[in-house]
Structure 1
Amino acid sequence: MDPCSTACVVAPHTLWVYEYAVLSLYVDLALGLVVAFLLLSLLVSGLNEAFVRVLAIRSKFLWAYLRDTLDGADEKGSWLPAKIIDVFKSLPFVRDPRPAHSDLPSPAKPGKLPETKTGDSMMNLLYERVREIDHGKRGRTSIATLPPARFSVAVMEMAAAQGDGGIEHFLRRLQQIDSPLHGPLKGVWESAQGDLDRFRQGVETWFDGEMQRLSLLYKRYVKWVVAVLGVVVTLLFSMDGLEYAKTLLRDNAFRASVTAVAGSGADAYEELKTRCTGGDPMPCVTETLSRPALVKMMDGALVSITIPAQGDPSVHWNGGAWWDRISTPSHWPGFLLTYVALLFGAPFWWDVFRRVTGIKPRR
């Protein structure tokens, strides 16, 4: 018998087992990182959504744009500030551009425009026509989205209420009160060549484009909020992405050693006793296997929660240990890794999680 025949058969099998073990290790590492970044990204998204809902940012953003478009700026300037710092400083806290909420249905006959500019005449007329979709929120309208079709119909209703002369008379009245809406509507009317149906469709298309532009502007402002919240979450949990990856590898190595000990007899059991301090290694093994790497990393947060095997959960203040982690330069690269990962957002990490686990999206 050829002495190499057995080795030639066993070696490829051993190599395959080794490659599978290495691949499984890297898959576990990738999956652990993805789950951690996904959970933290969801937390950032949840905090952002709570901030937006409590301060009614979407509704204020829409009505600030409508005030600028319908009635123009007032003595304090534009209702929708151009600078990002002014948006966060003025729009949520100082100036509320939304009209007062009314429980009454829209009047059967729209109101007429005043003879001179009053500052909010057009906006109030528009709100009269669309307030059927409104519900009160601390005395102000909660409308955060306005369908383009409803806006175009409201414009047609306001134009019809201005008396004889039709759209041209309505445009002259807009010019008389110096409404910024006059320019866009005049262009749409000239493009429609006197056709009312084409004019209505043109107003709808124009407003739809304006809403898309406003949505892009809103998303650009929200990105700054998400960026700030990403810093807060990263530092609050002191989440070191590099340390977390190392902890995952150590957990996998420990589990592998426990498995090897379980199948190797009494000698290996004595070796395990030397690794775990104390006489009985079972509590050490149970504690390690029952506390995943993510739970261990969350222990470094400013406030941690402990759930014992028996008894009630307890909350601990970790101010000293948390500050030591934050002020240690060796953790800063890991914090930066976590922060950059959170900027990708929860949808990105959910898509990565699907690809790693093989979960297929519902159609």
Structure 2
Amino acid sequence: MLSVYVDLALGLVVAFLLLSLLVSGLNEGFVRVLAIRSKFLWAYLRDTMDGADDKAGSWLPAKVRDVFTALPFLRDPRPRHSDLPAPAEVGGPPGPEARSGDSMIKLLYERVREIDHAKRGRTSIANIPPSRFAVAVMELAAGEDGDVERFLAKLKAIDSPLYGPLKGIWETAQRDLDRFRQGVETWFDGEMQRLSMLYKRYVKWVVAVLALAVTLLFSMDGLEYAKTLLRDNAFRASVTAVAEAGPDAYNELKARCTGQDPMRCVTETLSQPALVRMLDQALVSVSIPEQGDPDVNWNGGLWWDRISTPSHWPGFLLTYVALLFGAPFWWDVFRRITGLKARR
């Protein structure tokens, strides 16, 4: 009896794991195609180094809706890509009279563009190590003959938001260059952690939308799938009983295989897992015949009947909530049930 529940749990976990992997793959695909990580980083850097845009406000929108509309499609905060190496002579911030809205971000990109490659004419850098950012700041300060006081004065003159944090770090370091560099590195590392938490919060909304779409497109009723698993287990038990008890137990299979060759019916049923039968009820399904090429089937009518039937909604809700846990959670559950050990 215990094996029945193990089979049920394992079947549900595998189904949720596969669908969660699909959601994760779709999310990663959108992130890569739209360069969301890179845009997120450079929007933050523009706000931090050059300040908000006078017309469009902050480069990193505060509202979730604006992040998903403005950042991927309407505004691209990334600098233009350049194949040139960083210039040997480091220029400091321009004066207030020559200040442009992206002066500091251009200077920063000059110091880190050696690790860059083009993506639609823009930078693809999505991560700047804190130590590299600290070195870039020191290089910019070196453009003022190594005088950090003059560098900070220029940041203040152009009204850069970077002035406040660097001024505090400089005073805390007691005007020691090595301690100043370490302070900048620690500060930027904390900012990147905060930015990562903000990014994950926005990604959760994307995952929630994708999980809903996958649940509905596959019309995956978790409760119905669990019931199908139990029926399959009972059917296998019936087939075993026939093999052990002989022809007298054969009547138990007639109801399921009425009008068909019993042996062929048993073979097809046992060779088609419950998960495959559930996925056949998706909006578009693929069937592989014994001979010939795979067939792609449009199941619009059947799919709409399932979606519009209230009795399936609790099962859809179960699947949707399960997908929100994510593929790492279901992989861990699968590993615990099967006894697999993670590699270290």
How would you bin the TM-score normalised by the shorter chain?
A: over 0.9
1:128-171, Cα deviation, whole Å (9 max, x unpaired): 0000110111100000000000000000000110246x101100
Q: Partner of 2:69 in structure 1?
A: 89
Q: Partner of 2:334 in structure 1?
A: 353
Q: Partner of 1:208 in structure 2?
A: 189
Q: Partner of 1:138 in structure 2?
A: 120
Calculate the TM-score normalised by the size of structure 1. Answer: 0.93
The counterpart of 1:73, out of the listed 30, 39, 52, is 52
Runs (4 or more) in structure 1 with deviation over 6 Å come to none
Matches within 5 A, 1:80-119: 80-116=60-96, 117-119=99-101
- For the 8 Å contact 1:100–1:139, the answer to whether it is kept is yes
CA distance in 2, matches of 1:279, 1:191: 85
Q: Partner of 1:55 in structure 2?
A: 34
1:264-317, Cα deviation, whole Å (9 max, x unpaired): 112223543454112520111011101101001001100000001111100000
Counterpart secondary structure, 1:315: strand
Q: Partner of 1:5 in structure 2?
A: none
Matched, 1:193 2:194: no
5+ long unaligned stretches in structure 2:
none
CA distance in 2, matches of 1:275, 1:266: 16
Distance 1:275 1:83, change over 3 A: closer
Counterpart secondary structure, 2:293: coil
RMSD: 1.0
Q: Partner of 1:9 in structure 2?
A: none
Distance 1:71 1:279, change over 3 A: closer
Matches within 5 A, 1:240-255: 240-255=221-236
Counterpart secondary structure, 2:53: coil
1:176-224, Cα deviation, whole Å (9 max, x unpaired): 0000000000000000001100000000000000000000000000000
CA distance in 2, matches of 1:109, 1:201: 24
- For the 8 Å contact 2:92–2:151, the answer to whether it is kept is no
User: Which residue type is aligned with residue 360 of structure 1?
Assistant: K
Counterpart secondary structure, 1:91: helix
Q: Partner of 1:258 in structure 2?
A: 239
CA distance in 2, matches of 1:161, 1:280: 86
- For the 8 Å contact 2:51–2:161, the answer to whether it is kept is yes
CA distance in 2, matches of 1:44, 1:36: 13
CA distance in 1, matches of 2:68, 2:254: 58
Count of aligned pairs: 341
CA distance in 1, matches of 2:52, 2:141: 22
Matched, 1:224 2:205: yes
- For the 8 Å contact 1:101–1:135, the answer to whether it is kept is yes
Counterpart secondary structure, 1:80: coil
CA distance in 1, matches of 2:20, 2:125: 28
CA distance in 1, matches of 2:218, 2:193: 36
Matched, 1:300 2:281: yes
- For the 8 Å contact 1:307–1:314, the answer to whether it is kept is yes
Calculate the TM-score normalised by the size of structure 2. Answer: 0.98
CA distance in 1, matches of 2:185, 2:41: 16
5+ long unaligned stretches in structure 1:
1-21
Q: Partner of 1:40 in structure 2?
A: 19
User: Which residue type is aligned with residue 113 of structure 1?
Assistant: P
Q: Partner of 2:132 in structure 1?
A: 150
